[in-house]
Amino acid sequence: MKSDRSANPTWKKVMLRIRSYWPGLIATLLLAALYVAMSLYIPILFGSAIDCIVTAGAVDYSAMAVYLKRAALCAVAAALAQWLMSQLNNHITYRVSRDIRDEAFRHIQTLPLRYLDQQSQGDTVSRVVADIDAFADGLLMGFTQLFTGLTTILGTLAIMLRIHWGIALVVVCITPLSLVVANFIARRTHAMFQLQTATRGRLTGLTDEAIANSKVIQLFGHEEATMAQFDQINGKLEKAALQATFFSSMVNPSTRFVNSLVYAGVGLTGALVAIGGGITVGNLTSLLNYANQYTKPFNEISGVVTELQNALVCAERVFALIEEPSQTPDPAVPQHPGPVRGKLEIRDLRFSYTPEKPLFVGFNLQVRPGQRVAIVGPTGCGKTTLINLLMRFYEADSGQILLDGVDTRNMERGQLRRSVGMVLQDTWLKSGTIRENIAMGKPDATEAEIIAAAKQAHAHSFIRRLPHGYDTRISETGENLSQGQKQLLCIARVMLCLPPMLFLDEATSSIDTRTERHIQAAFDAMMTGRTSFIVAHRLSTIQEADLILVMRNGCIVEQGKHQELLQRRGFYAQLYQSQFAH
């Protein structure tokens, strides 16, 4: 019963998205009605043609020819209506699935990064791609067979009642058995399809993770462990899929059995009535034909029910993603600090990933414009999280972060992030040319500006050696580029924009020492006059910082310049000595 309650709102959401295509839906219904009318008229014509054969030597060939010609025209009209209906169904189905996929992808752009960080990327991809494809398949089958099936059932029943109400009553009495059987099984397959799609999402996530981290898996000899994990989830998927398929496949033979009873009942009753002179042989032939046409949609609808169960489960997963709360919207009337000078102030900041484990509690900080601030501390102390909060990738639980006196929550995110250049330890590239990757933050940059930025980042020399230079195409994984080269491209991207503030999170961690010295000189020139935050594990790279923040468990335990902190012989001195002690 629980699955039924969840399926009902899902249907409403689907219908809301189909509603905008109502002209096509009406045309589909009209074509379905035309197709059914032509299909149902043909048995009447054949029955009339059979009645033209009275006895041997007394056949009305001219009347028979008329009926057969009409039947042929009806068959052509029915085929044309069915083809047009299929075209319209395809158009509506794939437009609806396109709209839902667009809606899901647009919504992903508005989701908080905090949510995306906690979700499996493979499962999210599975929802947007595989689940919407499965939903489209079920919806297409529903359009194609549900409309015509229901219309056929109603049409055949009406004609059978007109020919002989007693025989039609036999059909009406037996038919509910088919509906009861189909409903009984379909209600139980919904939960099985839910398990199947959820397990498929887990398998997609594991596959995505294994491919992305194949080097790490091979480095630590985790091939067998990863394969065992894959086999375990794959086995669960196999079991769930077999159960869902087994129970759903029972619908069709069960309804076919009931439908055979309907056909036998019509044949037996009709034969007795015909012997008594109640109907003609032609009418009996028509009734048997209608009994077959009447029961056939039940078999098709049972298949549709199975597909729709799977489609609804997939739709639930997609709508669950679409209905995830978006990030806090930008204010209707945003505040603009004017030309950004880079004065940052943090007041009583509180943040936690989980309520039971607070990270920042009453965090305070003041940074003057143009100041170079280094953040150091052990892993997990909150260095990168602080950068994410400053950029509003994460939202603070309470407290304020002010930029030039303006609360960043009252600013547009776009304006805040355009004011900051970031180079992270984890590189990010997009599919496109080297030129497009460097110019991502400044699409209108000239060729000379792009080359100058690449030279500053010491990326120009390796770019020239690529097959097509700056026009060399790469994917988001940056194949054929080393980790250091990818990081140099990210550095060149920031050097091209020259924003008023810089956040460098282990920006040179993948670069050789010689190149790092050159880039550090370029960074020094770029950071002059710009408020800069430098997250570093190698303390040798931040000795010239104006202010060093030493963090531990989400708190600033020490702050000052390099020599001052060494003289205090505190936690910073311990970190420094641990790196340089021999």
pLDDT tens digits along 449-483:
999 988 888 888 888 988 888 998 887 766 678 77
3-state DSSP call for residue 489? helix
Is 219 domain-assigned?
yes
pLDDT value, residue 522? 72
> Quick one: tokens of 53?
């054969």
Is 575 domain-assigned?
yes
Boundary-marking domain end, from 274, 289, 322:
322
- The CA distance from 287 to 54, in Å, is 19
pLDDT value, residue 73? 93
- Same domain for 315 and 438? no
Low-confidence ranges of the chain (pLDDT < 70): 1-8, 54-57, 141, 143-144, 178-179, 182-183, 186-188, 190, 215, 219, 251-252, 298-299, 302-303, 306, 477-479, 507-511, 518, 540, 580-582
> Quick one: tokens of 74?
């009806």
The position carrying tokens 């009409």 is 70
- Same domain for 295 and 352? no
pLDDT value, residue 5? 46
- pLDDT tens figures, 222-272: 888 888 888 888 888 888 888 877 777 776 677 777 777 777 877 788 788
Is 329 domain-assigned?
no
pLDDT value, residue 331? 83
- Residues with Cβ within 8 Å of residue 524, at least 6 apart in sequence: 544
Give the pairing of strands 547-552 and 372-376. Answer: parallel
238 sits in the region (left: phi over 0; alpha: psi -120 to 50; else beta) called alpha
> Quick one: tokens of 517?
């010295």
pLDDT value, residue 54? 62
- The CA distance from 303 to 553, in Å, is 58
Is 5 domain-assigned?
no
Cβ proximity of 437 and 489 under 8 Å: yes
Cβ proximity of 532 and 501 under 8 Å: yes
Cβ proximity of 539 and 376 under 8 Å: yes
Give the pairing of strands 372-376 and 531-535. Answer: parallel
- Same domain for 292 and 402? no
- Same domain for 313 and 376? no
Boundary-marking domain end, from 322, 357, 383:
322
Is 287 domain-assigned?
yes
- The CA distance from 383 to 324, in Å, is 28
Is 333 domain-assigned?
no
- Same domain for 240 and 367? no
pLDDT value, residue 128? 86
Q: Which pTM does this prediction carry? A: 0.65
Boundary-marking domain end, from 290, 322, 354:
322
Taking CA atoms, 270 is separated from 158, 172, 286, 293, in Å, by: 17, 15, 10, 16
Say which CATH number the domain at 575 has: 3.40.50.300
- Same domain for 429 and 288? no
> Quick one: tokens of 232?
């375990």
pLDDT value, residue 302? 64
> Quick one: tokens of 481?
């580029």
- Same domain for 280 and 377? no
Residue 410 sits in which domain range?
A: 344-580
- Same domain for 467 and 517? yes
- Same domain for 178 and 290? yes
- Same domain for 354 and 227? no
pLDDT value, residue 57? 63
The partner residues of 407 in beta bridges, in order of sequence, read: 402
3-state DSSP call for residue 337? coil
- The CA distance from 312 to 314, in Å, is 5
Cβ proximity of 94 and 136 under 8 Å: yes
The dihedral built from the CA positions of residue 378, 487, 387 and 421, taken in this order, carries a sign that is positive
Is 6 domain-assigned?
no
- Same domain for 232 and 378? no
- Same domain for 284 and 412? no
Say which CATH number the domain at 188 has: 1.20.1560.10
Is 227 domain-assigned?
yes
Report the domain count for the chain: 2
Give the distance, in angstroms, between the CA of residue 432 and the centroid of all CA atoms in the same chain: 23
The dihedral built from the CA positions of residue 201, 207, 212 and 216, taken in this order, carries a sign that is positive
Give 67-71's long-range contacts (Cβ < 8 A, gap of 24+). 70/41, 70/45, 71/42, 71/45, 71/46
pLDDT value, residue 581? 57
The partner residues of 406 in beta bridges, in order of sequence, read: 403
